[in-house]
Each structure stands twice: as C-alpha cells, then as structure tokens.
Amino acid sequence: MNKPLMAKATAVWLVDNTTLSFKQVADFCGMHELEVQGIADGDVAPGVKGFDPVANNQLDAGEIEKGQKDPLYKLKLKFNAAAVGEEKRRGPRYTPLSKRQDRPAAILWLVKFHPELSDGAIGKLVGTTKPTIQAIRERTHWNINNIAPVDPVALGLCKQSELDTAVQAAVRRRAAEGVVMSDDERRKLVSTEQSLGMSAEPKMPSGLEAFTRPEKEEKPADFSDAESFFNLPQQDDDEDEDDDEPRR
C-alpha cells in the first residue's frame, strides 16, 4: 500500500498543521497537487476533519521535519504489514451514498462524449451496473428526461487520470479491431493545443456537394464597340418640330 489510510483527511491535517509544500503532501497522499491546493483554499474537502498520520502510526514526526527543511524531500510511509496486498484486491468501485444519485448524469456524459467506451469500462469508472448503462444508452431509463450530462470527474466519481487511461485503452482496442473513428471523436482525444490548431470551418459531406448552387461568375462589361456605347436613342422629327414652335 503506497498511500496512507484516509488519504484526503490526512492531506487536510498536513496542510493545516505543517509547512510542507503542496507537492510533498500530494505525493505522500497519492493525490494531485491541485487537489491539495484546493484543500488549502477551502474548495476541496470542505468540512473534512483532519486525520493525524503521526498519532495513527503512519508517519514519523522526523519525516515531517525533514520535509519542512527540504522542499524536495519525499515523505516515507511507515511499513504496515497488515496493509500488504490491499491494492491487489478487486471488486466493484464503492460509491458514497451522497454521490450515487449523480451516477446517471455521469453515465449520460460518458455515453455522449465518449461513445468508444464499453459498458464494462463505464461501470468501472462510475461504479454502476450494465443494465443501468444500457437503459441510459437506449433512453429507456425511468428518469431519462430529467438527467443532464455531467462530467464524472467534476462529480468526484472518478479521477481524470482514470478517465484518460480508460479512453486510451478503448481507442487502442478500436484501432486493433479496425474501426475508423470520426472527426468529432478524434477532436476529443487530441490535446488542447492541437485542437485549437484545427480548422474551425465544418467540412461538408461529399454527398451534399452536388446539391450546392454554383456561384455565378460576373462577366466584365464589353466596351469594345464604342459606337454602341455612345449611341443614344433619337427622338422623332415631329416631336423635335413641336418643341421648336413657341407655345401660345
């Protein structure tokens, strides 16, 4: 086991009671540095009570002193023989009761924005069953009209690294099967810099190109015949004579 018990609560305690850097706390607790920064700002884990790793025999006080003196020092977790093999245990992902109602929204988001993911992959990410995923895919879920897609990472149902790993594995599987991905699916997998460099103009399907109206080419005016250009319409002789007579 490479991280302490109650990692988030331990991170809260270290942030509140030590001067360790965010990276040191993140490396020790198995979290992302931005998550630890969010704990310090009060945006992450609000209301979570700190868990003292020294009093619970998970960390030596000397390790904290070394880390506070050297920002590059990595804290070492105490060896716990009872925790050996805990990471290898397999089973369904546990979802807290407070977040179980958010699972349909996360499933709909994954189905909509990552159709390459299989039902098994979505079940592992969100901690749900295949019948529930199938019902949302086929829009036969009892509450489908009230479900809005929400990113499961934002809901706290999975980590961004876990989602990225699952998407990459699904892409490799589809490539091995010879499935060609569409342009929209490729845009979801490229980096932000590459996506911003892509052309923003939508491509017209080849089947609709035949129905587009060709633009009319404007021909320049032909002034080669100068006489026709200056030849104005002549009035009748009778009209000219009437104009010359004085009016009475």
Q: Which two tokens stand for residue 45?
A: 């884990």
Residue 243 has pLDDT above 90, yes or no: no
Q: Which residue has the tokens 């009319």?
A: 216
Q: Which residue has the tokens 């499933």?
A: 107
Q: Which two tokens stand for residue 170?
A: 């699904």
- pLDDT at residue 14, rounded to an integer: 93
Average pLDDT over residues 163-189: 73
Share above pLDDT 70 across residues of the chain, in percent, rounded to a whole number: 65
Count of positions (residues) in the chain: 248
The pLDDT tens digits of the residues spanning 69-93 come to 998 999 988 876 555 554 544 555 6
- pLDDT at residue 235, rounded to an integer: 52
CA distances from 60 to 23, 78, 79, 81, 214 (A): 18, 7, 11, 16, 78
- pLDDT at residue 106, rounded to an integer: 93
The pLDDT tens digits of the residues spanning 131-171 come to 999 999 999 999 999 999 999 988 888 888 889 999 999 98
Residue 8 has pLDDT above 80, yes or no: yes
Report the alpha-carbon distance of residue 104 to residue 139 in Å, rounded.
11
Share above pLDDT 90 across residues of the chain, in percent, rounded to a whole number: 29
Q: How many CB atoms lie within 10 A of CB 173?
A: 13
- pLDDT at residue 203, rounded to an integer: 46
Backbone φ/ψ region at 206: left (φ over 0), alpha (ψ -120 to 50), beta: alpha
The pLDDT tens digits of the residues spanning 197-239 come to 545 444 444 444 444 455 555 555 555 555 555 555 555 555 4
Report the alpha-carbon distance of residue 182 to residue 64 in Å, rounded.
51
| pTM of structure | 0.42
